[in-house]
Structure formats: structure tokens, C-alpha cells
């Protein structure tokens, strides 16, 4: 039996840095895949990361060297398909071993048309992105001149509405698995694990990002959830307007991009972090209890501290002191920058879904 030889590939960043590797996953169109190159520090959960819609327009670099060792399965997908621009790994496992595995990572990438590159010195790449910041890049089997031109032409995610490409086309319902609440969830790039937690509180109607406040209120929800999602919050004018109209009408809970949208609806400002927060071990202090929570995070933008006067700061990132949570003083609404559902990641912050239930119980709106 003949052994299939690896196909040489390169990763080129917009600043001209070149990394050598070999092609994995699906072939990139014309030998070129592009996107904003970021790094994620999780030690496991690669399938959940790859299928998180928040990575739309980005090329994911895994800092952990061995990826694919326990395979993949249908249950761990966080969305209907991957939306990322590609995957960069040091070593793709040749064999997977896990009783839950239904296949291997390389085959999953091929099935969904996601290109990847392995054999990359991810330590060098991560240090470079840490020092210089996340930046556009291109990888594939094309010649270096072509990849360099593609990396230079890549615009990244700044100023682009990435949510339009990942949100659902029409509303759908997730049945309750426990509670009796009626929740409307804005799909800005929502994850399956979030829906599992919300459905434990009640029936969840997931709506497209373009849904108006009037349509949401017509469903007479007990609460509104603003999901995670990809890219820059600034272009999401319509979503912010809808949330602004919902404030005071119904309890609101937002996470990640939903947190940034809520802040924007309250007049807050956002800015782009140098290389973002992507990983499953970020320490966050809960300023209400004083406890330190280890959190799962995935975002490139952040709410500017002090840009909103009518909120209480509830959570702070201990690595860089950035805003991680707010609570409105005048409306039943709160949000966090990180992922309390943690798919993947620790479970320290799942109490926030219970906080949402208590907020809905305190501010009952249905039938009033």
C-alpha cells in the first residue's frame, strides 16, 4: 500500500512573515485561503472551537501542539457548519482514539470545505501575533508570491457586518427541557451549548439578527437573549436599534457580541484588542462576590471602560483589566463578555443562566 505524501503549503501574514507547513483538510480554492489570523489557547475542544460561528472570517491557530487526537462526533458541533476561514495546527494526529469518536478531524474539515495547514511552528506564530497583533493572512498550496498578494489584499473583519453571514434565515423553536419561560434569542452566531442552557429555562424562539423589536415583543417573551457572534459590533446598527427599543420592555441577557451590542444600545463604545481573548482559561473577577472565575472566551473587540454612565461594572478580566460584565441601573438587563455556557471550557460561570431566570421572575412581563 503506497503512502500518500504530504503536500507542501505556506502561511503568509500581511506583514510578510512566512511559515512552512503542509496542506490538510479541504483544498483551498485556487490554493489560497484567507482571513484574520488569531490564536486560541484551549487544550481540548477543538471541534467546538472550529464550529463556533464567532470565528467567521478568521483563521484559527491552535497553540496546543497536538490536535485531532480524540476525533470528532456530531454531538459536539456548535453550529450547522464551520464558518472559520481555516485552521492552523502544529501536529494533526494521524490516529484518533475515543469511545465517542465518529470520525477524524481531517475528514470533518474536508466534508465542510475547510482548508487547513499543519506542521506550522505555532509557538513562533503565536509569539508573533501576541507581539504584533492579530492580522490578515493567507495560506495554501499556491506559490508564495500569490499568497503574499492575497494576505496583503485581505481586509480582516474591521468595519464588516460578519453576523449577516452566520445568522439563521428564519425563526425556529427549541422546545423546553425544563422551565416554563418563553425566551426570544437573537442569533448573532449562537452556539448549540447556549441553546441547551436556555432551553432548560423554557421554550426558546431563535430569531434572525434583522428581527425588529416589535416582532420580538409580539411573541410576548419573558426574556430576550443576545448571543455571541463574529466580528466588529460597530456595523450592527439595526441590532443595536432593536435592543434599544427593547430596553425596559423585557429582561435582557447578553454574552460576547451580545454584550457589546447591549453596551452600544446604552451609548457605550467598543475598541479592538491587539490579539483578542481566545481560550478556555481566562481569569475574571466577579466584583459583586469577589470570586475569581476561570472562563471561556472568544472575542476581538471589547467595551471601553467608563463609556457608559448608567451601568454597574460587574466583572473584570484579571489579565488586562478589561470590562467583562455590566448590569444596567435603570433596566432589567445585564451582560458578560465571556462564555458562561463554556463549550468548550470550565463551568464556573453557568450561574449566570440562573441569574437570567431570577431576572425574568422579578420582572414578569407576559400577561401584564
Q: Which of 195, 140, 173, 134 is nearest to 8 (CA)?
A: 140
Task: Report the distance separating Cα 167 and Cα 41, nearest Å.
Answer: 26
Q: Which of 154, 324, 339, 357 is catalytic?
A: 339
Q: Is the dihedral of CA 294, 300, 306, 311 positive or negative?
A: negative
Task: Report the distance separating Cα 159 and Cα 237, nearest Å.
Answer: 12
β-pair partners for 92: 67
- Say if residues 37 and 137 touch (Cβ distance below 8 Å): yes
- Say if residues 9 and 23 touch (Cβ distance below 8 Å): yes
b/e burial code for range 69-103 (CB count within 10 A of at least 16 → b): bbbbeeebbbbeebbbbbbbbbbbbeebeeeeeee
Annotation marks residue 328 as catalytic: no
Annotation marks residue 341 as catalytic: yes
Q: Which of 78, 234, 293, 341 is catalytic?
A: 341
Pairing of strands 115-118, 18-25: antiparallel
Annotation marks residue 256 as catalytic: yes
Q: Which of 203, 234, 256, 299 is catalytic?
A: 256
Residue 332 grid coordinates: 432589567
- Residues carrying an active site annotation: 256, 339, 341
Amino acid at each position: 500500500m503506497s503512502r500518500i505524501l504530504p503536500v507542501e503549503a505556506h502561511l503568509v501574514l500581511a506583514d510578510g512573515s512566512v511559515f512552512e507547513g503542509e496542506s490538510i483538510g479541504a483544498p483551498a480554492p485556487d490554493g489560497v485561503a484567507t482571513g484574520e489570523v488569531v490564536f486560541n489557547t484551549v487544550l481540548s475542544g477543538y471541534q467546538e472551537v472550529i464550529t463556533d460561528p464567532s470565528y467567521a472570517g478568521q483563521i484559527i491557530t491552535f497553540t496546543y501542539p497536538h490536535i485531532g487526537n480524540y476525533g470528532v462526533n456530531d454531538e459536539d458541533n456548535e453550529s450547522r457548519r464551520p464558518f472559520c476561514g481555516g485552521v492552523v495546527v502544529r501536529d494533526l494526529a494521524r490516529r484518533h482514539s475515543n469511545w465517542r469518536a465518529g470520525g477524524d478531524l481531517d475528514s470533518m474539515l474536508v466534508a465542510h470545505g475547510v482548508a487547513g495547514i499543519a506542521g506550522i511552528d505555532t509557538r513562533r506564530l503565536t509569539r508573533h501575533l501576541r507581539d504584533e497583533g492579530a492580522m490578515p493572512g493567507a495560506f495554501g498550496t499556491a506559490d508564495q508570491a500569490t499568497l503574499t498578494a492575497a494576505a496583503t489584499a485581505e481586509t480582516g473583519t474591521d468595519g464588516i457586518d460578519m453576523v449577516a453571514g452566520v445568522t439563521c434565515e428564519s425563526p425556529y423553536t427549541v422546545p423546553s427541557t425544563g422551565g416554563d419561560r418563553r425566551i426570544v434569542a437573537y442569533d448573532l452566531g449562537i452556539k448549540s451549548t447556549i441553546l441547551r442552557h436556555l432551553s432548560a429555562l423554557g421554550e426558546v424562539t431563535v430569531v434572525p439578527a434583522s428581527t425588529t423589536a416589535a416582532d420580538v415583543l409580539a411573541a410576548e417573551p419573558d426574556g430576550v437573549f443576545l448571543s455571541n457572534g463574529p466580528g466588529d459590533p460597530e456595523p450592527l446598527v439595526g441590532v443595536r436599534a432593536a435592543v434599544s427599543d427593547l430596553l425596559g420592555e423585557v429582561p435582557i441577557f447578553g454574552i460576547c457580541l451580545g454584550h457589546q451590542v447591549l453596551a452600544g444600545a446604552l451609548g457605550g463604545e467598543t475598541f479592538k484588542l491587539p490579539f483578542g481573548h481566545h481560550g478556555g482559561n481566562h481569569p475574571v473577577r466577579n466584583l459583586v462576590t469577589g470570586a475569581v472565575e476561570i472562563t471561556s472566551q472568544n472575542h476581538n473587540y471589547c467595551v471601553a471602560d467608563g463609556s457608559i454612565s448608567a451601568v454597574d461594572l460587574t466583572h473584570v478580566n484579571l489579565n488586562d483589566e478589561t470590562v467583562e460584565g455590566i448590569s444596567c441601573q435603570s433596566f432589567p438587563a445585564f451582560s458578560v463578555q465571556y462564555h458562561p455556557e463554556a463549550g468548550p471550557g470550565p463551568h464556573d460561570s453557568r450561574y449566570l443562566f440562573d441569574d437570567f431566570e431570577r431576572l425574568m421572575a422579578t420582572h414578569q412581563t407576559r400577561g401584564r
